[in-house]
Amino acid sequence: MAGQPVVQAVAELLAGLGVRCFFGLVGSGNFHLTNALVAGGARFIPARHEGGAITMADAWARVTGEVGVCTVHQGPGLTNTLTGLTEAAKSRTPLLVLAADTARAAVHSNFRIDQAQLVASVGAVPERLHTPESALDDACRAFRRAQVERRPVVLMMPLDVQAASCPRRIAVSRLPALEPVRPSAGAVAATADALVRARRPVVIAGARKVLEALADRLGALLATSAVANGLFAGNPWYLGIAGGFASPIAAELISRADLVAAFGASLNMWVTRHGKLINPQATVIQVNHDAEAIGTHHRVDIAVVGDVLETARELLAELQRREWSGPGWRTPELETAIRNGTWRNVPYHDAGTADRTGPRPLPIALDETLPLQRTVATDSGHFMGYPAMYLRVPDAQGFVFTQAFQAVGLGLATAIGAAVARPDRLTVAALGDGGALMGLSELETVARLGLRILIVVYNDAAYGAEVHHFGPHGAPLDTVRFPDVDFAALARAAGLAAVTVRRVEDLAAVREWVAAGMPGPMLVDAKVVPSVVAGWREEAFRGH
């Protein structure tokens, strides 16, 4: 009601707009806001570091499809979020950050910085509670922008405005539903013409049901970017991930395609292997609701501005109107080749030793041990392809890949956000030893919340990517190699079950944990042989 503090009124408004879960770390600047949101019915997940909190909110948003919400203190509370905020901006995650800010008159406050300029510099959108009179409109606008623009929006909440009396009554109006953008008739016709001409089409996509029907009509093969891994799980024509993590059969078939249609995929250097994966003679179609995203990374012959699902529906209708369907290149022999060409069936040399496991047998054994209803969250590092290649996921929500910024250290927080979003599934956090140490504080969060998480640390006691990139040139490597860390001991100290794995046989403890119903979180300190060089390493460093 009118007369209550602005901070209370804003919290009630946000709860009314649908905020049901939020993450953060509480300081004096956001203490009252946090309590007011909890009183309004939202669940608060307190992190141990703001950098973890914002990535948890990012992952939660990706899994649920809702606006993720994070709250932090002013000044250093906000600066601590910058890496995660940049990742969310580059990934176009719908995210609302409720950041306290210094009062207008506090010009000499230790906490005072230009928060708006800071936020804008990493690609996020700065918004502000300007006055007590405008505060409710300001908060509603910030939430709506995050939701509609699918971008992180940081709402600055100056302390003097928070504490002022709100002169308006709260009226939570239903925000208007927006119809998805339909493509132009000309773009649909041009795309349909190209599809009809194609004999070996490949669809790289982001939305399953309609695109499967379209691919069936074309006789096309299906692939995804790493972010959408699992989207077509179970489909016999699904090649898996396109790009650096692609299996040999997937890479071969995509490179032979005479048409590549990207629905929602960016066609960036990772998806296309710096352009080498797509045949120079192939027709390239890109569909995206954001015109700026089309042609940014790769040549595009036909650009379609429109919602992915609406465009697929329009194309299906156009092909039906033409009474056209093509066999494409689907044959029983090709189906068998795709089935037999998964990474599980690709031969490899097991470089494991008596005291260190190879990086491939580990995820293969885990895949057989863990329930399929799982969410896999992967940190960045030399190890990162192995979980994506060998750990199956049931759908696109089963793989959370906060890698648009290529930042090491986001993996554990990503897993926590995903686990909160889907408590019905086991969450598998795949981390390198470097990233695990960066996010170490959130081990306590995992234990405190009692999450169903299996943390797997690929521990080669080094920053392996740098070792394998610079080592062959004779460079000194003392700066990127470290003494071995006993992650199992650290996990037990934080309250998790833990096991050290030097051979696949040591995973017996994980099998016992699964058989017991996975009672609480567990960490696997996998001592991985450091000599195996990941096949995608060269592509990754070319991007630098």
Q: Is residue 406 part of a domain?
A: yes
- Domain final residue, candidates 308, 340, 372: 340
CA 412 to each of CA 43, 143, 418, 421: distance values in angstroms, whole numbers, following the listed order: 20, 27, 10, 14
Does any domain span residue 176?
no
315 vs 525: CA distance, rounded Å = 49
Q: What is the pLDDT of residues 459-468, one digit of tens each?
A: 998 888 888 8
Same domain, 320 and 375: no
Distance between CA atoms of residues 212 and 90, nearest Å: 28
322-331, 431-440, 448-457: least confident range: 322-331
Say what the pLDDT of residue 301 is: 96
Provide the CA 353 distance to its chain's centre, in angstroms: 34
**In-domain check, residue 173:** no
User: What are the tens digits of pLDDT across the range 47-101?
Assistant: 999 999 999 999 999 999 999 999 999 999 999 999 999 999 999 999 999 999 9
Asked whether residue 17 falls in the same domain as residue 140, the answer is: yes
Q: How confident is the model at residue 178 (pLDDT cuts 50, 70, 90)?
A: confident
Token match 């009252």: residue? 32
Percent of the chain with pLDDT over 70: 97
The mean pLDDT of the chain is 93
276 domain residue, yes or no: yes
CA of residue 379 relative to chain centroid, distance: 10
Choose one of 295, 313, 340: the last residue of a domain: 340
Residues 410/463, Cβ–Cβ less than 8 Å: no
Q: Are residues 535 and 392 in the same domain?
A: yes
Inter-CA distances, 437 with 170, 409, 429, 440, 459, Å: 45, 8, 14, 5, 11
Contact between 335 and 253 under an 8 Å Cβ cutoff? The reply is no
Domain match, 23 and 113 both: yes
Q: Which domain holds residue 210?
A: 185-340
At 274, the pLDDT band (50, 70, 90 cuts) reads confident
- Domain shared by 256 and 276, yes or no: yes
> φ and ψ at 491, to 5 degrees?
-65, -45
Query: How high is the pLDDT of residue 540?
Result: 57
Residue ranges of E strands in 232-322: 238-241, 259-263, 283-288, 302-305
Domain membership flag for residue 465: yes
CB atoms within 10 A of CB 327: 9
Q: Would residue 305 count as lying in a domain? A: yes
Domain count, the chain: 3
Q: Specify whether 329 is located in the same domain as 368.
A: no
Q: How confident is the model at residue 326 (pLDDT cuts 50, 70, 90)?
A: confident
How confident is the model over 494-526, as pLDDT tens digits?
999 999 999 999 999 999 999 999 999 999 999
Listed residues 99, 131, 163: the one ending a domain: 163
In a domain, 461, yes or no: yes
SS in 3 state form for 397-450? Answer: HHEECCCCCCCCCCHHHHHHHHHHHCCCCEEEEEEEHHHHHHCHHHHHHHHHHC
In a domain, 178, yes or no: no
Q: Do residues 422 and 504 both lie within one domain? A: yes
Asked if residue 34 lies in contact with residue 24, where contact means CB atoms within 8 angstroms, the answer is yes
Q: Are residues 100 and 222 located together in one domain of the fold?
A: no
Which pLDDT value is given to residue 155? 98
Cα distance between residue 461 and residue 482, in whole Å:
5
Mean pLDDT of 100-109: 91
408 and 434 Cβ atoms separated by less than 8 Å: yes
Q: Within this chain, do residues 195 and 273 fall inside the same structural domain, yes or no?
A: yes
Residues 514 and 428 in one domain: yes
The CATH number assigned to the domain holding 294 equals 3.40.50.1220
Structure pTM?
Answer: 0.94
Residues 508, 527, single domain; the answer is: yes
Check pLDDT > 90 for residue 170: no
The CATH number linked to 31 is 3.40.50.970
Q: Are residues 152 and 57 in the same domain?
A: yes
